[in-house]
A and B are shown apart, each in its own frame.
Chain A
């Protein structure tokens, strides 16, 4: 019986009953308190179910909202990180480019300005006709400068620099040979290449002339060696000489100061660590302390004194 009521109530509330059934049901509703109670409960359930569904809907929306929020935050976080990382990479790249450009500019600037000088500095030795090519590779001054540097970037820049200067080497050679034949020896071509450590302070006078004069005066002992460096502050007034790919030093009179037995030169501020580094090499290495500040000043004065002593005397002869 109850289930019947149940169905009837439901159908009544859903407006599924026919007109007759409807009026019959309403009549029954009036006289039957049990049915009324049942009906009330039914309606309660209906509204409760409705409310539950609304609550579920709201909660679902809330969850959806929270999830979307999380996703948004996550995406934002990722986007932020990507931007930061990209920025850092870009920054590093631009910095690298800058330093590269700077080194390139430097090499470009220096090489065309004084082509003969750069030729002297680097490549003349390898271009010399009476020497085997590989001999001089060790004493290129760019290499000396690089001894302390481990950065490959600088090495690359240095290589580029060499390339540039090689272009000019030919002119330098021609010029040099012309001048050499003009004012020094009747030799058809120079047998001496001068290896100069470049210190801009020292180039007050025309470096070529200075060198040529020097070679002219000291031609006797200078000719003994494959190449002779300048007397400058790096070696405190002594000149680096090279013969048969061994290094040594001479004083301004041509006397040997350090015998020519070294395969390699290292100019460094920290001799101890350099020694440690090159421990396993079989080469004989000469370590020269890198001078700076007061040392250089002292040396400058010494050199001036020395050259003053030498040159006037020779000039007067």
Chain B
């Protein structure tokens, strides 16, 4: 929990640099709306990297985020250009390697989780994301005690799995 509070502080610090980054992205030809998306995406990457143990920050966080923004924007711009010119290559590039595949899957699952109930979403996010213990989560969500919360968590997991399987069933026939 302390780690997340630190992370929030860090995020606040980084967010204060948002005007600089916006200006920077503007010089690269990025519009402000997708600029903010890119910035948030870069922050997400930064946070994730920060939490993985084998990541060593060699530059200041601000420059790391700025660079990530730049790369993300180049990626997006290239994609947009490709979409315009040749849409055929997209699928080939999409399956580059295992890491990318996993990344795509995670993204898919994430969007699936968004279909869960608000309580389930919050519970799973608190438990897996912020690492709260069940007692606190029960208090926060308004459940009677940690046992109820635990049971609720299993129910949510079950539902999520069902949703994912359902989606795969739906998606796969289209792919094939």
Residues of A that sit less than 8 Å from B by CB: 2-3, 6-7, 10, 38, 41-42, 44-59, 61-62, 64-65
| B77: interface (CB < 8 Å) | no
The A-contacting residues of B in range 153-175, CB under 8 angstroms, are: 153-154, 157-158, 160-161, 164
Q: How many Å from the CB of A172 to the closest CB on chain B?
A: 76
Name 8 A/B residue pairs within 8 A (Cβ), A-sorted. A3-B158, A44-B106, A50-B128, A51-B129, A57-B7, A64-B12, A64-B15, A65-B15
Min CB–CB distance A158 → chain B (angstroms) = 61
**Distance between Cα atoms of A42 and B107 in the complex (Å):** 14
| Cα–Cα distance between A241 and B104 once the two chains are bound (Å) | 110
B interface list, Cβ under 8 A from A: 4, 7-8, 11-12, 15-16, 18, 36, 40, 43-44, 47-48, 105-107, 109-110, 112-114, 121, 124-130, 153-154, 157-158, 160-161, 164
B18, B121, B129, B154: the one contacting A54 at CB < 8 Å is: B129
Whether B8 and A42, one on each chain, are in contact in the complex, defined by CB atoms closer than 8 angstroms, is: no
Which of B12, B40, B110 is the most central at the interface, judged by chain A CB atoms within 10 Å of its CB? B110
Closest CB in chain B relative to A66 CB, distance in Å? 9
CA distance A55 to B154 in the complex (A): 23
- Nearest opposing residue in chain A for B15, CB measure: A65
Asked if A45 and B113 sit within 8 Å, CB to CB, the answer is: yes
Q: Is the CB of A54 within 8 A of B15?
A: no
Q: Which residues of B contact A47 (CB under 8 A)?
A: 106, 109, 128
CB contacts (< 8 Å) of B128 on chain A: these are: 46-47, 49-50, 53
Measured in the bound complex, the distance between the Cα atoms of B154 and A3 in whole Å is 8
Residues from chain B with Cβ under 8 Å of A55 in the complex:
40, 44, 110
| B154 surroundings in chain A (CB, below 8 A) | 3, 6-7, 10
**Closest partner residue, chain B, to A46 (CB atom):** B128
- Give A40's nearest chain B residue, CB to CB: B105
Whether the pair B157, A45 counts as a contact (CB closer than 8 A) is: yes
Nearest B-chain residue to A51, judged by Cβ = B110
B129 lies within 8 A of A6 (CB): no
- How many Cβ-Cβ contacts under 8 Å join chain A to chain B? 98
Chain B binding surface, main DSSP class: helix
Return B171 CB to nearest CB of chain A, in Å.
14
Tell me which residues across on chain B come within 8 A of A48, comparing CB atoms.
106-107, 109-110, 112-113
Inter-chain contact A49/B113, CB cutoff 8 Å? yes
- Residues on B with C-beta less than 8 A from A58 are 11, 40, 43-44, 47
CA distance A170 to B130 in the complex (A): 95
Contact of B8 among A3, A49, A61 (CB under 8 A): A61
7 further A-B pairs in the complex, CB-CB below 8 A; given A52-B121, A62-B40, A65-B18: A45-B161, A47-B106, A49-B113, A51-B110, A57-B11, A58-B43, A59-B40
User: Distance in Å from the Cβ of A40 to the closest Cβ of chain B?
Assistant: 9
- A49, B158: Cβ atoms under 8 Å? no
Complex CA distance for A217 and B156, rounded to whole angstroms: 123
Task: Please pick, from B12, B18, B129, the residue contacting A52 in the complex, using a CB distance under 8 A.
Answer: B129
B161 near A57: Cβ-Cβ < 8 Å = no
| Contacting residues, chain A, for B44 (C-beta < 8 A) | 51, 54-55, 58
A51–B114 Cα gap in the complex (Å)?
12
Q: Are the CB atoms of A45 and B40 closer together than 8 Å?
A: no
**Given A50-B129, A54-B44, are A44 and B109 also a contact pair (CB < 8 Å)?**
yes
A44 to B8, CA, bound (A): 24
Which A residues are in CB contact (< 8 Å) with B112? 48
| Least distance between A229 CB and chain B CB atoms (Å) | 77
Q: How far is the CA of A47 from the CA of B109 in the complex (A)?
A: 9
Is B11 a contact of A41 with CB atoms below 8 Å?
no
Q: Who on chain B is nearest to A56 by CB?
A: B125
Q: B127: which A residues are within 8 A, CB to CB?
A: 49
Of the residues B36, B106, B126, contact of A51 by C-beta under 8 Å: B106
Out of A44, A46, A53, name the residue touching B130 (CB < 8 Å): A53
Instruction: Give the top 10 A-B pairs by smallest Cβ distance, nearest first.
Output: A53-B129, A53-B125, A48-B109, A49-B124, A49-B128, A48-B110, A65-B15, A61-B11, A50-B129, A58-B43
Instruction: Report the Cα distance A52→B154, complex, angstroms.
Output: 18
Q: How far is the CA of A65 from the CA of B160 in the complex (A)?
A: 32
The complex places the Cα of A61 from the Cα of B46 at a distance, in Å, of 14
> How far, in angstroms, from A55 to B48 measured CA to CA in the complex?
10
A6 adjacent to B158 (CB under 8 Å):
yes
Taking CB atoms, residues of chain A closer than 8 Å to B18 are 62, 65
Residues of A within 8 A of B106 (CB): 44, 47-48, 51
CB-contact partner of A6 in B4, B12, B114, B157, under 8 A: B157
Q: In the docked arrangement, what's the CA distance between A36 and B116, Å? A: 24
Residues of B within 8 A of A56 (CB): 125, 129
